[in-house]
Copies of this chain bind each other. A is one copy, B any other.
Amino acid sequence: MAVYVMKFGGSSVGDSERMKRVARRIIEKQDEGHQVMVVVSAMGDTTDDLIDQANMLSNNPPQREMDMLLTTGEQISIALLSIAIHEMGRKAVSFTGWQAGFRTEAEHGRARITDIRPERVQRALNEGNIVIVAGFQGMTEEGEITTFGRGGSDTTAVALAAATAADYCEIYTDVDGIYSTDPRIVKNARKLNEISYDEMLELANLGAAVLHPRAVEYAKQFQVRLVVRSSFNHNEGTVVKEEATMEQGVVVSGIAYDKNVARISILGVSHVPGVLAKVFGSLADAKINVDIIVQSGVEDGKADFSFTVGLDDRENALDVLSTIRSEIPYDDVTYEDGLVKISIVGAGMVSHPGVAAEMFDVISKQGVNIKMVSTSEIKVSCVIEGTKLNEVIKALHTAYGLDTESQVFVGGPQDRR
């Protein structure tokens, strides 16, 4: 007997037929002799519908009341799933986030878990119940209802697995697992059998929307064995764990991309101490998330540097820069859209020199200019013009030996909550 946490996203429980299918899937797991906890998101479009209702009343609804509103979505899901399981003759008990013992900070809309008190879940489990927990939600010590923000249900699942020392945390999605790259672009992308937490983190951050980075961080921190698999079939999925077994000859595990990239350059900045701190401190104060930062050499006491932000933040970033010009004089500011960040990720890179050089070579052979470069121990990212994205990804996928014989079936858009 093992202890499982099974997490189902909103599209997996979008209507009563899907709900029943999920219920059967859960019962199969119990029939194999396991103890089963389930984490479920709000059904289909429920969350968006609730947000629409709020927006009809206010352009700026208070986040506390939005948490009060949105947590009903998951509460409806857990109740209905429990009803479906009862109908199939099994014992099931649903719990809201606060009932399941999720304690959080008092940050409405993006609370972090501070503590989990799983006694009630554990008791229900030991009494033979399938335990169903509402994803995405918790409660402060003062009894205020909170939500975790995007990817919250993944985080609930991993945290619950950690708190109950579950053997597996299975994340059910509409794809078969984690792929070497986006199968919509590369038809013969490779499904990975295993991947390390660190690799998954890089891929998750880079826009491989299957697992939320925060959930992966949690899994790494508490050494939760994650499995990403399909809710539509019984294929094995991808195991995410501390040290993935290196497949023969595979240095790069995956290729990710991010189209949400704007580059901003500040030219001719006086190179005095504290300049970078001032610029990026001001951007951070404006809650602008800066990704890659590149500084060129200093000439005549002046430096140029460039950084990337999300497209939505570009205008704000330019505003911030003009605001600070009186303190930090510079010659000019330029920006560029239509870019994409492409990244190769692989734990094997550390011991294989020349991986980055090969990447640059492949990209340049496609006739594409590299605008910026950023590297970590297990990742190389290049910001390039977006026009030839697909060709570049395909070329890199082939160059690093990731192509398989088979073609991948690709489902609908992945549910991220």
Give the B-binding residues of A (Cβ under 8 A).
16, 19-20, 50, 53-54, 56-62, 64-66, 68-69, 71-72, 75-76, 78-80, 82-84, 86-87, 92-94, 96, 99, 120, 143, 145
Residue of B nearest to A62 (CB): B86
- Which of B72, B78, B86, B120 lies in contact with A143, CB distance below 8 A? B120
Are the CB atoms of B69 and A57 closer together than 8 Å?
Answer: no
Are the CB atoms of B99 and A83 closer together than 8 Å?
Answer: no
Are the CB atoms of A62 and B82 closer together than 8 Å?
Answer: yes
Taken together as a complex, chains A and B put the C-alpha atoms of A75 and B69 apart, in Å, by 7
- Which of B16, B57, B65, B71 lies in contact with A57, CB distance below 8 A? B16
Are the CB atoms of B58 and A84 closer together than 8 Å?
Answer: yes
Are the CB atoms of A76 and B50 closer together than 8 Å?
Answer: yes
Taken together as a complex, chains A and B put the C-alpha atoms of A382 and B16 apart, in Å, by 48
| Distance from A281 Cβ to chain B, minimum over Cβ atoms (Å) | 32
Q: Could you say which residues of chain B place their CB within 8 Å of the CB of A143?
A: 99, 120
Taken together as a complex, chains A and B put the C-alpha atoms of A76 and B145 apart, in Å, by 13
- Which of B53, B60, B64, B86 lies in contact with A65, CB distance below 8 A? B86
Taken together as a complex, chains A and B put the C-alpha atoms of A50 and B83 apart, in Å, by 12
Are the CB atoms of B83 and A76 closer together than 8 Å?
Answer: no
Are the CB atoms of A84 and B68 closer together than 8 Å?
Answer: no
Are the CB atoms of A66 and B54 closer together than 8 Å?
Answer: no
Taken together as a complex, chains A and B put the C-alpha atoms of A93 and B145 apart, in Å, by 12
Given A65-B79, A79-B65, A79-B66, also A86-B58 (CB < 8 A): yes
Taken together as a complex, chains A and B put the C-alpha atoms of A143 and B139 apart, in Å, by 13
Taken together as a complex, chains A and B put the C-alpha atoms of A78 and B145 apart, in Å, by 13
Taken together as a complex, chains A and B put the C-alpha atoms of A234 and B72 apart, in Å, by 34
Are the CB atoms of A57 and B99 closer together than 8 Å?
Answer: no
Taken together as a complex, chains A and B put the C-alpha atoms of A364 and B86 apart, in Å, by 56
